[in-house]
Homo-oligomer: A and B are copies of this chain.
Amino acid sequence: MNTLPLYRQLANHYLDAIRSGTLKTGERLPSIRLMMEKHAVSLSTAVQVCRELEDYGVLEARPRSGNYIRQPDTPTRPVALIQPPPLDTGVYVGIHEHVSTVLKASQQATIKVNLASAYCAPQLYPLKVLQDNMIKALRQDQHLFDTTGSTCGNSALRNVLARRMLTAKTHLTADRIVITHGATEAINLALRAVTQPGDTVAVESPTFYGLLQILESLNLRVLEVAASAHAGIELPALEHLLQGPERIKALIVIPNLHNPLGSIMPDTHKARLVKLCAEHDTVLIEDDTYGDLVDTEQPLSTLKHWDRTDNVIYCASLNKTLAPGLRLGWISAGKWHDRVEMLKHTQTRGCEKLSQLAVSAFMGTPSYERYLRRLRKTLTQQRQHMSAAILRYFPEGTRVTNPRGGTLLWVELPVQHSSMALFQEALNVGIQISPGDIFSNAKRFKNFVRIGCGTPYSPRIDEALQTLGRLLKNQG
């Protein structure tokens, strides 16, 4: 029985048609009037179908002309359009050996060009300011290491973070924030607070392999839900799953500048996702580590913004935006705040004060916004260079995402290519990439590669991409 609302059934119907090529770019979508007639639906339903397709970025409204199919935000060639996977029945893996093997191989190799990192190049980060702030704090206060810090973290930093969130239309009170050792510990605490070992947790597919590792270390069952580069997690697929027999305790989503997809969920999707999870009593864990790297000045909304029932746990990190060597993240756990605070206390106690002081001193000034603006512009250029080079050097049929921010490109190779083989061959010549395989327990992305664009474009990188292209062409 299909329990989706009519307008979503119809939207999915057209999405399938677009994906399969039945409706091609530039073609006109049936008019509202025709839809009402053909599908026997109301005006409001037909309008909702069009909005839905616009949210997915596949529809363009031309004034006085109609709705046309478009390939969203891709200047040169089609974006990687990932087919929704078969719904997994839950993949439980004791230790994510595959990821570990890949990461270990990279550590042992001599790397000349690293295209696997999600970080920016060191010279793009405000490292000097941060180090100077630390020296200043160490000079001014002889009592920095006198006492153990508060379990929840420095109040100065928590205040700065709460104030910044207001611009993302998200109201968090500082005393409900806990500073953590990166987003890793934040997500760890969120999962420990709301699940038991053996519980099932859903994630996007693909998703950041670090999340898969955390889930496995906590003995949680993982269900993968299809996600697309246009709009993130596919809500119909999720809804289907939530209505299924398996109780899903929590869902982890990267709504803004998804790793590796680069997707940004449309606001309508965010609102609907939050509602859906609340209805099914599934805790929604939001990883907003990359949101600040969006191209535009206007901040992206968070899932927490749409949360009316305190069912969203907000997690984020500062080390992608400030410094790779900082271990600072944070969590705002809604109604689970007390439990998260208790778990933080018994897991690592409060974080050391010094980095928190240095960071809050910087984030509290206008220079932080100026720095972010510069960084965003730089990253936009770097992604454009990389994207163009990949399309130039890689085999015919390669497709690249065109995210609206961040450091990551998700590259779909023609289906006969193996990204694991490319990973090994590249490592042999000192180039590091992230093979698609590690972004899913179900190994669904064998012909995908994640390419980091954090480093300013240079002949060295150009040559590395050329080498990758050659290796691929040699694969046949």
* Chain A residues within CB distance 8 Å of chain B: 95, 100, 122, 125, 127-128, 130-131, 134-135, 138-139, 142-149, 180-182, 184-185, 188, 192, 196-197, 210, 213-214, 216-217, 219, 319, 323-327, 342-343, 345-355
User: How far does the alpha carbon of A6 sit from the alpha carbon of B147 in the complex, in Å?
Assistant: 50
Sample of 16 A–B contacts (CB below 8 Å) = A122-B147, A125-B146, A127-B145, A131-B144, A131-B145, A145-B325, A146-B323, A147-B324, A180-B348, A181-B351, A182-B348, A184-B346, A185-B347, A188-B347, A192-B217, A214-B346
Q: How far is the CB of A363 from chain B (nearest CB, A)?
A: 15
Whether B181 lies near A348 (C-beta < 8 A) is yes
| Cα-based distance from A144 to B346 in the complex (angstroms) | 28
For the complex, what is the distance from the CA of A138 to the CA of B143, rounded to whole Å?
18
Supply 5 further A-B pairs (C-beta < 8 A) apart from A134-B138, A181-B351, A354-B355.
Answer: A127-B143, A145-B326, A147-B324, A217-B342, A327-B348
Most chain-B CB neighbours within 10 Å: which of A148, A180, A342?
A148
For A148, give the chain B residue with the smallest CB separation: B324
Residues of B within 8 A of A184 (CB): 346-349
Which residues on B sit within 8 Å (CB–CB) of A323?
Answer: 145-146
Q: Which one of B131, B350, B352 lies within 8 Å of A138 (CB-CB)?
A: B131
Enumerate chain B residues within 8 angstroms of A139, measured Cβ to Cβ: 135
Complex interface: chain B residues within 8 A of A348 (CB): 180-182, 184-185, 188, 327, 348
- A152 nearest CB across to chain B (Å): 12
A182's closest neighbor in chain B, by CB? B349
A441 to chain B, nearest CB (A): 15
Provide the residues of chain B in CB contact with A182, threshold 8 Å: 348-349
Please tell me how many copies of the chain the complex holds.
Answer: 2
Whether the Cβ atoms of A325 and B352 lie closer than 8 Å is yes
Q: A128 — nearest CB in chain B belongs to which residue?
A: B142
Chain B residues with CB under 8 Å of A354's CB are: 134, 354-355
Q: Which 4 A-B pairs have the closest CB atoms?
A: A145-B325, A181-B348, A145-B323, A217-B346
- Chain B residues with Cβ below 8 Å from A325 are 144-149, 352-353
| Chain B residues closer than 8 Å to A319, beta-carbon distance | 148
- Asked if A146 meets B127 with Cβ closer than 8 Å, knowing A213-B346, A352-B355, the reply is yes
Q: How far is the CA of A182 from the CA of B346 in the complex (A)?
A: 11
In the assembled complex, which residues on chain B have CB atoms less than 8 Å from the CB atom of A185?
A: 347-348
- Distance of A104 from chain B, by nearest CB (Å): 11
The docked-state distance in angstroms from the alpha carbon of A217 to that of B151 is 15
Of all chain B residues, which has the CB nearest A211? B346
Give the distance in Å from the alpha carbon of A95 to the alpha carbon of B338 in the complex. 11
Identify which of A343, A352, A355 gathers the most chain B CB atoms within 10 Å of its CB. A352
Q: A91 CA to B472 CA in the complex, in Å?
A: 61
Contact A213 B326 (CB under 8 A): no
Chain B residue contacts of A197, Cβ below 8 A = 196-197
Which residues of chain B have C-beta atoms less than 8 A from A131's C-beta? 138, 142, 144-145
Q: Among A95, A216, A347, which residue has the most Cβ atoms of chain B within 10 A? A: A347
Cα–Cα distance between A217 and B349 once the two chains are bound (Å): 13
Contact status of A145 and B324, CB under 8 A, knowing A139-B135, A354-B134: yes
Q: Which residue of B lies closest to A347 (CB)?
A: B188
State in angstroms the CA–CA spacing of A319 and B319 once bound together: 25
Distance, CA A217 to CA B346, complexed state (A)? 7
